[in-house]
A and B are shown apart, each in its own frame.
Chain A
């Protein structure tokens, strides 16, 4: 099955600087890659996702890049702010063979991002 590895497990960044979190996946058939943010004591929330037909997607201060050849994708947060402090999870899934839709998401192990004021 799919295996998703995420690095680093912890990351501390000075406020205003950029943060980058990287994930690799094992199944070349995976075609959907979302990122989730989980603040302390709260549920994971989807912040951005990318499909395999594009290489980059941006939404204000966050961006995701995908390298299908190398099977890795990254989350980039620019101009970090204290409210960016959270645990971030990457995930991957692929299209089902039998019918519509994708298979379940396989999550990475998470990155605890701390923004230092």
Chain B
């Protein structure tokens, strides 16, 4: 493991389900990120948190709801997703926003 742990590794959910993705880092980093990786847009930034505060929402639909209770944990709450939301969701952290990202292994999400 890199120090950034994501759970679950795989998730299959129906369009009416509610689920959450979890990211945890013990690297002492103070910036955390959610990225969506799909064939169409390989690394698409979704959200940025710096010292627990959201500093960027990259026009993400409201069916994705992030939560950052502290600098070590980041969640992505999912509800009423669409099949096109199927992708690999990557969490990353860094010491200073933008430097030396460390990625988690990702959650492979399939919406059916």
Contacts and interface: CB of A to CB of B under 8 A. Distances in A.
A102 B98 contact: yes
13 contacts: A32-B99, A43-B2, A43-B103, A43-B106, A44-B103, A96-B97, A102-B96, A102-B99, A103-B97, A105-B98, A105-B101, A107-B42, A110-B43
B100 A104 contact: no
Contact of A44 (B90, B98, B100): B90
Interface of B: 2, 31, 33, 41-43, 45, 48, 50, 56, 90, 96-106
Interface SS majority for chain B: loop
Interface of A: 32, 34, 36, 42-46, 49, 87, 89, 93-94, 96, 100-107, 109-110
Contacts of B104: 43
